[in-house]
């Protein structure tokens, strides 16, 4: 394709058809495959901006897919899809009581998790087919227009998501949005990772070493809504500052009552305006390392607690290649604003106004350790 960087190849094909509920016309869902000369490849589909596959080599040169997902479009359309690899919005994470005020006006959103609103509602950005085009250097740009009143939100929102793969095994996602009315915006990518391989399950995850660059976190109530407090991680199970990392198995054992990690960490900012170091995860068995950098103030660390629980005799979620996905079979690092920020005046502002541009950049760097 024209304008492609010679170090990164980009190919396009189809991933199925999706019926447009407004026009009744079937639309093609496109798939893009980026690959570099170091053995890394990434696949993205226009439905939900979903990253369906991330294949990276281990320390011995063996290539595995380290992102959970499905083989077919109809599986991504299923109610059982836990946001695998998707761009989540207009507001990621939870909004308490599915409501907020801007000025004196109160807005009521769809309630899709009890009394609360989560991940943009019943039909958030993850359930829409985005427009696509390729720009110079092998970058893929997906665009989406969200209408005024979608899921209860005010104003139209135009969002662009730019994906690029480097020759150094880095995947960069750049998110931008503009609005026609003041409205909260908090976008994230919801990829599920297992550096031992997407099908390695909890046995692989328990061996991972995790470091999160955060001195503080935002505790939550029983419905996982932040209380508004910002408290130190020191002397808690959320103290993951140690490098090369805390072994995840014993740390999850400390969180048996909570079921695992599902919490927002307040990322320590960088000394300048560049992307801050967010997290480092290492799988010693394969030697794979994932480092995350972002300019977002927070990161939701989630250990897939909502996937089926084998100990409760639940059937597994069947993923790519017939893989069985279970609880604690993956981790997510969702860079974001703090959850429910629109209702917490001491949290970073989440309301975007006309004339301003929302910008959120996240870089995933893959490497190996012998």
Strand order in the sheet with 41-45: 8-19, 26-36, 41-45, 51-57, 63-65
Instruction: Quote the CA–CA distance of 157 and 178 in Å, as a whole number.
Output: 6
Beta strands per DSSP E along 66-221: 87-88, 94-95, 99-102, 105-108, 117-118, 131-135, 139-146, 157-165, 170-179, 183-184, 188-189, 209-212, 214-218
Rounded to whole angstroms, the Cα distance separating 46 from 43 reads: 10
Question: Do 66 and 195 form a contact (C-beta atoms < 8 A)?
Answer: yes
Cα radius of gyration rounded to whole Å, the chain: 20
Cα atoms found within 13 Å of the Cα of residue 269, Cβ hemisphere only: 9
Which residue from 157, 190, 191 is spatially nearest to 176, judged by alpha carbons? 157
DSSP type of residue 311: G
Helix (H) or strand (E) holding 202: helix 201-205
Instruction: List 18's β-bridge partners, or say none.
Output: 27
Q: Pseudo-torsion of CA 202, 204, 208, 212, nearest 10°?
A: -40
Give the residue carrying structure tokens 């508004």: 228
* Rounded CA separation 65/194 (Å): 9
- Is the sign of the CA dihedral 320, 326, 328, 334 positive or negative? positive
Question: In Å, how far are 198, 239, 241 from 152, measured between CA atoms?
Answer: 36, 37, 39
Active site residues: 190, 334
Distance CA 270, CA 9 (A): 32
């Amino acid at each position: 394709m024209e304008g492609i960087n010679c170090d990164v190849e980009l190919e396009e094909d189809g991933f199925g058809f999706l019926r447009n509920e407004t026009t009744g016309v079937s639309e093609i869902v496109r798939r893009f495959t980026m690959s570099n000369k170091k053995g890394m490849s990434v696949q993205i589909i226009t439905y939900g901006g979903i990253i369906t596959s991330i294949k990276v080599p281990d320390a011995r040169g063996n290539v595995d897919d380290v992102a959970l997902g499905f083989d077919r479009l109809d599986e991504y359309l299923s109610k059982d899809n836990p946001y695998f690899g998707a761009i989540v919005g207009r507001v990621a994470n939870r909004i308490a009581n599915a409501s907020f005020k801007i000025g004196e006006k109160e807005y009521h959103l769809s309630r899709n998790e009890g009394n609360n609103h989560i991940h943009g509602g019943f039909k958030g950005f993850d359930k829409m087919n985005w427009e696509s085009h390729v720009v110079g250097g092998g970058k893929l740009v997906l665009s989406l227009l969200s209408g005024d009143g979608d899921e209860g939100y005010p104003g139209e929102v135009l969002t662009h998501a730019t994906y690029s793969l480097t020759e150094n095994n880095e995947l960069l996602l750049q998110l931008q949005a503009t609005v026609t009315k003041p409205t909260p915006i908090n976008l994230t990518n919801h990829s599920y990772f297992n550096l031992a391989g997407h099908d390695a399950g909890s046995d692989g995850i328990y061996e991972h070493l995790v470091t999160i660059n955060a001195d503080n976190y935002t505790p939550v109530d029983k419905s996982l809504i932040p209380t508004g407090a910002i408290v130190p991680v020191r002397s808690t199970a959320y103290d993951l500052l140690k490098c090369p990392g805390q072994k995840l198995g014993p740390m999850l054992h400390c969180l048996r009552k909570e079921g695992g990690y599902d919490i927002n960490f307040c990322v320590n900012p960088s000394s300048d305006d560049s992307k801050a170091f967010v997290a480092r995860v290492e799988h010693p068995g394969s030697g794979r390392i994932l480092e995350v950098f972002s300019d977002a103030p927070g990161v939701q660390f989630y250990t897939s607690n909502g996937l089926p629980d084998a100990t409760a005799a639940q059937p597994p979620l069947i993923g790519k290649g017939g893989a069985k996905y279970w609880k604690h079979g993956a981790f997510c690092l969702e860079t974001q604003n703090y959850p429910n920020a629109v209702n917490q005046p001491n949290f970073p502002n989440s309301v975007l106004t006309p004339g301003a541009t929302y910008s959120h950049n996240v870089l995933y760097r893959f490497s190996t350790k012998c």
